[in-house]
Amino acid sequence: MKKYILAILICSLWSFISHQTTEGVITYSTKVNMHKRLSSDRDEMKKMIPEFNVTKNILLFNESESLYKNLPEEENPFDQSTGGNRMMIKTVMSNETYLDRNESLLTQLREFMGKKYLIKKELNRIPWKLETESKDIQGYACKSASYTDENQREVKAWYTEEIRIPLGPESYQGLPGLILEVSINGDDMVISTEKIEWRTLKKNELKAPKGGQEVSEDEYRAMLEEQMKNMGMQPQGQGGVRMIIRN
């Protein structure tokens, strides 16, 4: 009888541990160096805006899916007054990135200039190069990996094999563990973990985004680059900002 009770307890504990390591929510902080996105002849603009733009995102995940999306912005988090004018910086778009490993599908919802766009494409293999560096992030032992993306940016990720789920923020995936931090071109952009919450996801909390005009990735990138060019800024990836000057 004691052996039977012990077996039940062990099974229950194993089920609890397994569940805890396969489903949950991660809060990430994304820090973008705004001055590096300005062209060299925009020194006056640099004086009007803060050097860094920081936003919050969450990653909902299980063993085969993930959904990365923005958290609501704090009210005017980057207001800065200059000579009677106020420069306010906010993200141009509300982004969602959904990965389905079983279907090898990536779905992105992008809001641009007040209009929503839907981009669907096959989940490509990222040519990660595994490295020997290591560090601790939120109590997890992490290893590093890197690659050069299609925009010739140096991407470095930190992942933990303690959580063997090959997912991460944005569309970064394919490593032998959950990605807890990503840096792009050094401090150009840094995505870092602030909180890890193990819990059962609510029904329909993790699902592919819908709505919006379907466009190709090339079509969307062309629209984004044109707008950033008009603003005198250098586009990096699929993020962006708008600047509003108020009297």
Question: ∠ at Cα 104 (103, 110), nearest 5°?
Answer: 105
Q: 223 versus 171: which is more confidently predicted?
A: 171
Which letter does DSSP use for residue 171 in this model?
T
Q: What is the pLDDT of residue 46?
A: 57
Read off the pTM.
Answer: 0.75
* Beta-carbon contacts of residue 131 (< 8 Å; ≥ 6 apart): 143, 144, 145, 146
**H or E segment and range at residue 112:** strand 105-112
Is the pLDDT at 214 greater than 60? The verdict is: yes
- Interatomic CA distance for residues 125 and 145, integer angstroms: 14
Which pLDDT tens digit goes with each residue over 61-80? 998 899 999 886 544 344 44
Q: What is the pLDDT of residue 229?
A: 73
Which pLDDT tens digit goes with each residue over 130-167? 999 999 999 999 999 999 998 899 999 999 999 999 99
